[in-house]
Amino acid sequence: MANVVIVGSQWGDEGKGKVVDIYTEYADQVVRFQGGNNAGHTLVVGNEKTVLHLIPSGILHKGKQCLIGNGVVLDPQVFLQEIENLKQKGYLQDDAQLVIDSNAHVIMPYHKAIDIAREQKSGARKIGTTGRGIGPTYEDKIGRRGIRIADLVNPESFACKVREFLPEKNFLLEKYLGGTPLDEAAILEEYNAYGRILAKYVGNTSLLVNQGIAAGNKVLFEGAQGCLLDIDHGTYPYVTSSSTVAGSASIGAGTGPRFLDQVIGISKAYITRVGEGPFPTELHGDMGQRLREAGNEFGSTTGRPRRCGWFDAVALRYAVRTSGMTGLAITKMDVLNDLATIKLCTAYDYQRQRLDEFPNDLEILKQCTPVYEEVDGWQSDLSEAKCYEDLPEKAKDYLRKLEEVTGCPVILISVGPRRDQTIQLENPFKD
């Protein structure tokens, strides 16, 4: 049975949520393996829009088990709010559908306060984080002073850890970052209440995934953010604090890499970025504005306008390489509907030298300018195309070009936010 990993192949916001929702139909279990509520996955079913930050995008399918793996960092307040919103809409009627791993780390109030205060203090050198406490939580995880879900649901252990860690956090917040110290009793009261409600969702997701695989289940591993935001392979330090490449699915879900059969990279037909950091194909003028408006490129987590640019095949090839992608899903093709010509970057120019590979060194990347190829636009509406044959020749040419410059086959095309605005060329779950 094929298991499939879905990852973003750009700087996030590629439309992973929609593709996960589509693919959930073929899967038995869906597992999120990294990141936290810095992600924002927008799903449109009928006329109803649902934005999820933490809960796997498969949750809109009744009977599919949705797991939040050990690699995720979880803000309990956001998690419970998300559950409430889903229930109000009639989803998640059976609580057993959702399980969070007891080894996942908890985003504490001091993580959020430190994230925001650090960004403020950094001034022009800020990362442009989502301010959700993601970085500080992963720092504490690696520093072995994190608080896990298992602690959250055990008031004694939780109180003991808060008492141990809070003085250092308050010292940092108050004395170095110029913030306000946090009150221990208030944290304990608030988080104990979360722990009590959340307890029924806690389990061992590694065990469930591996038992599922042994029983012949098909598992969909749902990534967040994108390969260029990966802590190792991304445009460091302008990255998120987790591993966003496909290999992370193994660690963050607690299963062996041999069970990851297919890796599907999600990519827009152009590219966007939120936050700071180099972006070789960024469009600053009217064209950038045009893409932002046509693609509604505003963050679903923070509402920030996204930086927009032409498709970057150098960056995409790098994502294909670091995640071992077996297929690409191209989203938001319809956003390019009106354009007479479309550019795509096939190489970089660095000090008059042609670079075909994405440079490791950020100082080099900062100085790279794109080498473009130009293709004709299709100048017609793709949003009602139901199959590949419905696409105009020039749209097919563009897709073929994307395959050629990335070296990866396109297996899905999205022409709008709805489920029925999806053209599937191959099913990655098929053996």
Tell me which residues are annotated as active site.
13, 41
Give the residue nearest to ligand IMP (CB).
275
Nearer to ligand IMP, 74 or 208 (CB): 74
Interaction of residue 332 with ligand IMP, rule CB under 6 A: no
CB neighbours (10 Å) of residue 237? 12
Nearer to ligand IMP, 12 or 288 (CB): 12
Nearer to ligand IMP, 132 or 169 (CB): 132
Interaction of residue 127 with ligand IMP, rule CB under 6 A: yes
Among 50, 129, 248, 322, binds ligand IMP (CB under 6 A): 129
Of 23-31, 185-193, 233-241, 326-334, the window that binds ligand IMP (rule: CB under 6 A) is 233-241
CB neighbours (10 Å) of residue 17? 28
Residue 331 and residue 417: Cα distance in Å, rounded? 9
Q: Which of 40, 18, 408, 70 is nearest to 209 (CA)?
A: 70
Nearer to ligand IMP, 13 or 334 (CB): 13
Nearer to ligand IMP, 32 or 218 (CB): 32
Interaction of residue 130 with ligand IMP, rule CB under 6 A: yes
Please state the φ and ψ torsions of residue 263, each to the nearest 5 degrees: -125, 115
Interaction of residue 111 with ligand IMP, rule CB under 6 A: no
Which amino acid is it at 186? A
Nearer to ligand IMP, 24 or 242 (CB): 242
Least separation, in Å, of the C-beta of 267 and ligand IMP? Answer: 13
Interior CA angle at 110 toward 108 and 112, to 5°? Answer: 80
Local structure of residue 96 (DSSP, 8 states): G
Of 11-19, 66-74, 116-124, 289-297, the window that binds ligand IMP (rule: CB under 6 A) is 11-19
Interaction of residue 12 with ligand IMP, rule CB under 6 A: yes
Residue 9 and residue 69: Cα distance in Å, rounded? 21
CB 276 within 8 A of CB 238: yes
Interaction of residue 128 with ligand IMP, rule CB under 6 A: yes
Residue 340 and residue 275: Cα distance in Å, rounded? 30
Least separation, in Å, of the C-beta of 225 and ligand IMP? Answer: 5
Among 4, 6, 9, 13, binds ligand IMP (CB under 6 A): 13
Residue 289 and residue 294: Cα distance in Å, rounded? 9
Question: Looking up tokens 């998120």, which residue turns up?
Answer: 240
Question: Looking up tokens 């950020």, which residue turns up?
Answer: 362
Q: Where are the alpha helices (DSSP H) in 89-204?
A: 109-122, 134-142, 149-152, 155-171, 184-198
Nearer to ligand IMP, 132 or 233 (CB): 132
Which amino acid is it at 54? L
CB 99 within 8 A of CB 201: yes
Q: Where are the alpha helices (DSSP H) in 254-384?
A: 286-294, 313-323, 362-367
Among 210, 240, 243, 326, binds ligand IMP (CB under 6 A): 240
Site string for ligand IMP, 256-275 (x = CB under 6 A): ------------------xx
Interaction of residue 208 with ligand IMP, rule CB under 6 A: no
Of 9-17, 117-125, 148-156, 157-165, the window that binds ligand IMP (rule: CB under 6 A) is 9-17
Among 37, 97, 205, 241, binds ligand IMP (CB under 6 A): 241
Least separation, in Å, of the C-beta of 10 and ligand IMP? Answer: 9
Among 18, 105, 118, 132, binds ligand IMP (CB under 6 A): 132
Nearer to ligand IMP, 52 or 213 (CB): 52
Least separation, in Å, of the C-beta of 23 and ligand IMP? Answer: 19
Q: Are strands 422-424 and 410-414 parallel, antiparallel or unpaired?
A: antiparallel
Residue 239 and residue 278: Cα distance in Å, rounded? 11
Residue 305 and residue 282: Cα distance in Å, rounded? 13
Query: What is the H or E stretch that residue 430 is in?
Result: none
Whether omega before 237 lies within 30 degrees of 0, making that bond cis, reads yes
Residues that bind ligand IMP (CB under 6 A): 11-13, 38-40, 127-130, 132, 134-135, 224-225, 229, 238, 240-241, 274-275
